[in-house]
Structure 1
Amino acid sequence: MVPTSPPAPGAATTPHRPAPAGPMNRSAVLWVTLAVFAQEAVWNFYDAQVPEQLRHYFSSAGVIGLIMGLDHSWGIFTQPAVGFYSDKLARRRTGRWPIVLLGAALATVPFALIPWATSLPALMVCVVGFAAIANAFKGVTETLISDYVTPGNRSKAQGFIKAGVSLTIVVSSLISLLVVDHSLHLAFAIPPALMLIMLGLSWAFLGRHHRDAVLPQEHADQSQEFTSPRAVLKDALRSPSSPTLLLMIGIFCFAGMWSALRSLMTPYGTQVLGLTRGDAGGLALPGAVAFLICVLPIAYLSNRLGQLRAMRHGVALFIAGLLAGFAMPNVPGTIVSMVLSSLGYASFAVNALVALWNLAPAQKVLGTYTALYTIASASGMALGPAILGTSIDLTSWRYMLLNAAVFAAVTFAVFTRMARSIPHSTTA
């Protein structure tokens, strides 16, 4: 994965096969999975319950979707610089951990205050404050795995990490089902408390020994040096046909629709299915369980299919799930829809970031390439909920899943174009 010399100017970067995999550092995978679990537990609960909080002040699904999307857009502005700085820290004694730990501590405060906000301005201060801080360090946590796991093992490691992420949906759903209807204040206090505890454990067992655990080849990398985040971005997006740019477009499209569904599923449950707020917040639970069961087999299968082909099949399954849910507008039908859509998303989630890392010109810039992933996904998350919400305003909540399927078909077309543009042999 790590080239010995920089690519020729103007040459299009193409994905390549990872180096042969040696033994995977399973202990490191465990603790990084716990770290990602910690931050995603907060985000999943945020996406499930904040839209319903906003419905106290806004009746338009489009406005609610826009606000939820704009929250994610902070990563577009902060992630390149934070990711580049984390790449510098990765080769030092502390590693990337100071950014993660400080960011988590700061993000906890506005998140826990959300249910205490009794006016729209106070609510927006809490929501924007949390989103700005949490987005700044989110990509850094996801990059931790590249410091401890060899390139050939990263797809497998991502399978374990995404399995951990699926558990956060379970946790979020259980908090919604068991706590929200009884005490909203307690419900919003639980996820950040879990985040601080679990990140502290991850740092204690892994981060404190960063100097011994970091990959030796990272220190020996003699490839091209980049002096700023802008230089890395310019190298990655040098032409309209750049595979990196095509992959980012695909990430943008799929992340947008997935975020839209997560943001608007609770109101869909209350408006179409007649559920309480707590019960509607638990609609994602069956899909999370299916994701958990299948994500590791999907990760191993993806190595055989190729990353782009696996992502395209995942989008097709995602669309099939949405159409099934539209055809059956009841609780069982919606559960089937969430299960199929979650499995489709699993194929995307396991492969997208690793595929982007495989395009990086050097091990030293993986944090910045994670920022490219964040830029693409955050842009999609910023616009996806607003687009889907606006389509609901023009039709009705009953047509939400059908509208999402139409938008997801555009995503399928993008991944089909990518698969034809980039040879399969280079993406496995």
Structure 2
Amino acid sequence: MMPDSPPAADAGPSVPPPRVGDRMNRSAVLWVTLAVFAQEAVWNFYDAQVPEQLRHYFTSAGVIGLIMGLDHSWGIFTQPSVGFLSDRLARRRTGRWPIVLIGAAIATVPFVLIPWATSLPVLMLCVVGFAAVANAFKGVTETLVSDYVAASNRSKAQGFVKAGVSLTIVISSLISLLVVDRSLRLAFAIPPLLMLLVLGLSWAFLGRRHTTAALPEEQAEDVREFASPWAVLKDAVRTPSSPALLLMVGIFCFAGMWSALRSLMTPYGTQVLGLTRGEAGGLALPGAVAFLVCVLPIAFASNRLGQLRSMRYGVGLFVAGLLVGFAFPTVPGTITSMVLSSLGYASFAVNALVALWNLAPGQRVLGTYTALYTIASQSGMALGPALLGTTIDLTSWRYMLLNAAVFAAVTFLVFTRLARRAPDRVAG
């Protein structure tokens, strides 16, 4: 196990918070990483296999993409209020953990029942039920980083967190390869059970000592209060040229295309590459491995390059990867495409949320700012699969990666504009 930070970080509520330059609490980062790993294991398997489940009832890629996108849209309505509530709980004895643990327990039930559904209404009830609950607490789990890690170390901490997320893609791909073609019901039972087990361990080792964890940067000037999550949102997007608003637009665009690729890659593999459902579900595995190997170096390099510059480079690599996949519509070509695109996404994933946190007016609204990130990303995830699916209906599955590259190029233009307006602490 990685060593803990100096004892001062765990001495109790009266201990001064960590200063810029203090060592990162690696034990806390480990358990937060495991918590995020637990929930993302379910989401990755959901995105890989539910579209194929929907193909039993729909033939249109646009309709399937729309349904997958609407599932993600629940976070737009639930996350601001839940994030604001988690900010209120963060400084109490339990911290944000009750929201995470109760939400995970409830979300498990409809997820496990998805392969048991024998009609479209029952399937939609399970899919919507899971998405509604899981989206509500998803951002709260990600905000745990801000409770235990000082701002100066959050990009590095996010590197570890995203490495954990990449492992969930590996787990999801392995379940698809080894279990789906043999027992679909067993395959759908594994991810939520893993989520409950790992979240329970994370809470046992970290959540139960929440009151002894020094909440970073709880400074005297951090006293600005907001009456509601909507007041926080209004403050963040107060002008059309607001850096926070521009950053949310960039998050919207990139998250939409990434979600579209994740949602439609399995049908792409069966329709274009001639793979079985299980084999197509494993296409993301090489990209996940590349993500895992490179995400930590990317996180440390981002401290030197600056968050915004790193994200722009990541978007450029993402587009290049998609063009490679379009030029070579074979299994090796698609795998190469997924590796390059995953590395580009890694640069974005490590920096986007931290950049938005850095624009927050104070520590006490970081949960709500995570909700703003969720609004942007979930809006993109809601529309991205439908938009990409519609272009597939207008062209063919063969052009999916080219269509995605055109959409992603728009994201690069957004970050180029943002670079001219963002403050130094974000742009680097």
CA change 1:346–1:150 in 2 (3 A) is same
Contact 1:221 1:363 in 2 (8 A): no
In structure 1, the residue matched to 2:9 is none
- 1:272 aligned onto 2:272: yes
**Which residue pairs with 2:305 in the alignment?**
305
C-alpha deviation, 1:215, in angstroms: 1.4
CA distance in 2, matches of 1:116, 1:330: 34
Measured after TM superposition, the shift of residue 230 of structure 1 is 1.2
Matched-pair contact (CA < 8 Å) for 1:307–1:355: yes
- Matched residue count: 411
**How big is the shift at 1:221?**
5.6
SS in 2 for 1:118: coil
Q: Residue 59 in 1 paired to residue 59 in 2? A: yes
1:45 CA drift (Å): 0.1
Measure the CA separation in 1 of the matches of 2:348 and 2:92: 32
Does the 8 Å CA contact 2:47/2:263 hold for their aligned counterparts?
A: yes
Distance 1:155 1:222 in 2: 21
- Could you tell me which amino acid in structure 2 is paired with residue 283 of structure 1? L
* Structure 2 equivalent of residue 170 of structure 1: 170
Query: Which residue of 2 is the match for residue 334 of structure 1?
Result: 334
- The one-letter amino acid paired with 2:385 is P
What's the counterpart of residue 245 of structure 1?
A: 245
Matched, 1:421 2:417: no
Quote the Cα distance in structure 2 between the aligned partners of 1:425 and 1:40: 29
Deviates more, 1:277-286 or 1:224-233: 224-233
Aligned-partner Cα distance in 2 for 1:422–1:161: 25
Paired with 2:20 and 2:139, the residues of 1 have a C-alpha distance of: 26
Instruction: Return the offset for 1:162.
Output: 0.2
CA RMSD in angstroms comes to 1.2
Determine if contact 2:419/2:427 at 8 Å carries over to the other structure: no
Structure 1 unpaired stretches of 5+: 1-17
Matches of 1:141 and 1:194 in 2, distance apart?
Answer: 16
TM-score (structure 1 length as normaliser): 0.95
Q: Which amino acid aligns with 1:142?
A: E
Q: 2:366 maps to which residue?
A: 366
Cα distance between partner residues in 2 of 1:289 and 1:363: 34
1:118 counterpart residue number: 118
Structure 2 partner of 1:12: none
- One-letter identity of the residue aligned with 2:298: I
Q: Which 5+ residue runs of structure 2 have no aligned equivalent? A: 1-17
Show the counterpart of 1:10.
Answer: none
Shift, 1:227, TM fit: 1.3
What TM-score results when the alignment is normalised by the length of structure 2? 0.95
| CA displacement, residues 352-407 of structure 1 (integer Å, 9 cap, x when unaligned) | 00000000001000000000000000000000000000000000000000000001
Partners of 1:160 and 1:307 in 2: CA distance: 16
Q: CA deviation at 1:20?
A: 2.6
Query: Is 1:21–1:151's contact at 8 Å kept on the other side of the alignment?
Result: no
C-alpha contact 1:38 1:194 (8 A) present in aligned 2: yes
CA contact (8 A) 1:91 1:218 kept: no
Name the CA shift for 1:338/1:225 in 2 (closer, same or farther; >3 Å). Answer: same
Partner of 2:227 in structure 1?
227
Aligned twin of 1:35: 35
1:14 is matched with none
Q: Secondary structure at the match of 1:21?
A: coil
| CA-CA distance at 1:21 after TM superposition | 2.5
Residues 202-221 of structure 1: matches in 2 within 5 Å?
202-215=202-215, 217-218=217-218, 220=220
Q: Deviations over 1:26-80 (max 9, x none)?
A: 0000000000000000000000000000000000000000000000000000000
Using the alignment, how far apart are the partners of 1:125 and 1:423 within structure 2? 45
Give me the whole-angstrom Cα distance separating, in 1, the residues matched to 2:379 and 2:19. Answer: 31
Alignment of 1:64-75 (within 5 A): 64-75=64-75
Paired with 1:372 and 1:423, the residues of 2 have a C-alpha distance of 18
Deviation, 1:420, is 2.1
SS in 2 for 1:240: coil
Change (3 A) 1:411 1:266: same
Structure 1 residue 234, shift from structure 2 partner: 1.1
Q: Partner residue of 1:13?
A: none
What's the CA shift string for 1:221-249, capped at 9, x where partnerless? Answer: 64211111111111111111110000000
The answer (yes or no) to whether the contact 2:151–2:216 under 8 Å persists in 1 is no
**Deviating runs (4+, > 3 A) in structure 1?**
219-222, 423-426
